[in-house]
Amino acid sequence: MPVEDRKDTIAFIICVNNELYFEECKYYIEHLEVPAGYDIDVIGIWEADSMCAAYNLGMRSSDAKYKVYMHQDVFIRDSRFLEKTLRIFKEHPKTGMIGMVGGIGIPENGVVYSSWNVGKVDCREPDLSYVLLCGPNQTKDQTVDAVDGLLMMTQYDLPWREDLFSDFDFYDVSQAFEFRRAGYEIVVPYQEEPWVVHDCGFAKLTNYDRNRKICMEEYPEFFNVPEGEELFSSGEWDQLSSQLAAAIRRMIDQGQWDEASQAIGIYHQSQMKSSELEMLAIICEIEQTDRRVSKRSSFLAQAGSCEAICRTYLSVRFLLHRMEFDRPAQDYQELIHAVESGNISVDAILILILHGVLDKEKVLGQLETWHMPDPMSAERLRSFHRRMQKENRGIPYSYSKRAKMELEKYSKEEQ
């Protein structure tokens, strides 16, 4: 190929353990606007022993100058993402890495997850959706000390420290520190609206403390902020929640929905959080609601096994995201047909919207243009929509812990 015709490649390197999430992640990558002269390549690394090992494997398998290391549950919703990030790299050759959220100042105690004070992200947790504001007063691209690993884009290759980090914690902070040691800067761009969605679960901190100590020992020069949150250890809860989730899955497999709902009640009394249990709770809520209102099993129960039910649940959740993000109707036609035919009840779709949609008003307005299967369903939808309009909740926002502290400090100084 003539040199002038050669295209540069942008590689997306994704650590994968769930085919459904991986396919949805690729859907958004494939719909990005690709600047002239560039190709994209998606590299999935399956069932890796650690994030560092996966990313080293992906990095070494690609000669792309620009690499996007991202979680499988991150969906890039800004179609101009590549144009915007490439501009930063081209205008600032010292910028080695770009992230979506990050921090200026890293706590001396190494509890980094509470230190982000720059950037924003559209968070879709299992039970609710909100925009996480880490830097509510940010007005320009900002150089930071480290970034969160949900998405990290680089224009230079440095080895990931798999010799130090053999799990799934601190790979991101470590790599940011490696870039800084090499003389590069880390940047979080200004985002008027979040560029990416993180359809995330609740973090498990089982190995966090061990990796925190390794990171602090290797990079002592970067931990420079006195205040810091105390580390919460979730090891015992992670084990208990996994056992409870396994028991509930067996109940669902056997069609014991009442027993499963009772077990979910025990979970809710714990006031702790588990991604898997939250998903199972929503599934049980949909099934019990359809049995009570429609006197029939939900579309989820019709899927069969609990594993198939969970896949169906996630598929519908993802289709609702596409609808919310103004994707072409053909990209969620399956959802339209399921609702208009009555296979997915209005009550079920409303529960899914409550838990999984950020702009509920927008999606409810779109839903009202569909042909409901019967007048009663149409009226329930209209009634629910009117109630939401009356409450006027708007888009929910949440501040990161560090952002809250800085806003409170600023407010006191102003008084």
pLDDT for 200: 87
Cβ neighbours of 285 (radius 10 Å): 19
Please indicate, yes or no, whether residues 10 and 64 belong to a single structural domain of this protein. yes
Q: Is 291 found in the same domain as 189?
A: no
Name beta bridge partners: 186.
97, 144
Residue 394 has pLDDT above 90, yes or no: no
- From CA 154, how far away is CA 180, in angstroms rounded? 13
**Looking at the domain assignment, is residue 396 inside a domain?**
no
Residue 122: HSE in the Cβ half-sphere, 13 Å Cα cutoff: 22
Share of the chain above pLDDT 70, in %: 93
The answer to whether residue 230 is domain-embedded is no
Model pLDDT, residue 415? 52
Same domain membership, residue 172 and residue 260: no
Residue 403 maps to a domain: no
Do 37 and 89 have their domain in common?
yes
Beta bridge partners of 348: none
Determine, yes or no, domain membership for 108: yes
Expressed as residue numbers, the domain containing 83 is 3-222
User: Is residue 397 a part of any domain in this protein?
Assistant: no
In terms of domains, do 245 and 167 share one?
no
Of 56-65, 113-122, 312-321, the poorest mean pLDDT is in: 113-122
With bands split at pLDDT 50, 70 and 90, how would you rate the model's confidence at 352?
Answer: very high
Q: Which amino acid is at 127?
A: D
Beta bridge partners of 198: 74, 123
Residues 189/80, Cβ–Cβ less than 8 Å: no
Q: Looking at the domain assignment, is residue 292 inside a domain?
A: yes
> What percent of the chain is modeled with pLDDT above 90?
75
Q: How is 204-258 classified by DSSP, letter by letter? A: P-TTHHHHHHHHHHH-GGG--BS--PPPPP-HHHHHHHHHHHHHHHHHHHTT-HH
Residue 406 banded pLDDT, cuts 50, 70, 90: low
The residue with tokens 């690499």 is 67
Confidence grade of residue 397 (pLDDT, cut at 50, 70, 90): confident
Residues 198 and 270 grouped into a single domain: no
CATH number of the domain where residue 33 is located: 3.90.550.10
Q: In 3D, which of 126, 92, 73 has the Cα closest to residue 285?
A: 126
**Do residue 22 and residue 167 come from a single domain?**
yes
User: Span 86-106, mean pLDDT?
Assistant: 96
pLDDT at 3: 38
Asked whether residue 179 carries a pLDDT value surpassing 60, the answer given is yes
For 180, the 3-state DSSP assignment is helix
Claim to verify: residue 202 and residue 280 sit in the same structural domain: no
CA distance 197 to 114: 19
* pLDDT, position 363: 96
Lowest mean pLDDT of 76-80, 129-133, 159-163, 164-168, name the range.
Answer: 164-168
| CA gap 322, 312 in Å, rounded | 16
DSSP letter assigned to residue 107: B
pLDDT at 407: 67
CA distance 363 to 354: 11
Q: What is the dihedral of CA 329, 330, 332, 337, to 10 degrees?
A: 100
pLDDT confidence band for 234 (50 / 70 / 90): low
Please check whether residues 151 and 246 belong to one and the same domain: no
* Distance of alpha carbon 370 from alpha carbon 347, whole angstroms: 15
Give the model's pLDDT for residue 369.
96
Split into its structural domains, the chain has a count of 2
Q: What is the pLDDT of residue 247?
A: 97
- Per-residue pLDDT tens over the stretch 318-327: 999 999 999 9
Average pLDDT over residues 306-312: 97
In a domain, 345, yes or no: yes
- Spell out where 72-165 has E strands: 74-76, 95-99, 101-103, 118-124, 129-133, 142-144, 146-147, 151-154
- Average pLDDT over the chain, rounded to whole? 91
In angstroms, the CA 119 to CA 67 distance is: 20
Is pLDDT at 224 greater than 90 in this prediction? no
Q: How would residue 228 be classed by pLDDT, with cut points 50, 70 and 90? A: low
Mean pLDDT value across residues 410-415: 56
Same domain, 83 and 162: yes
* Claim to verify: residue 52 and residue 89 sit in the same structural domain: yes
Among the listed residues 105, 106, 130, 112, the one whose alpha carbon sits nearest the alpha carbon of residue 120 = 130
- Residue from 289, 284, 276, 279 nearest 257 by CA: 284
Question: Distance between CA atoms of 351 and 260, rounded to whole angstroms?
Answer: 18
Q: Residue 399 domain-assigned?
A: no
Does 4 score more than 50 pLDDT? no
Residues 71 and 167 in one domain: yes
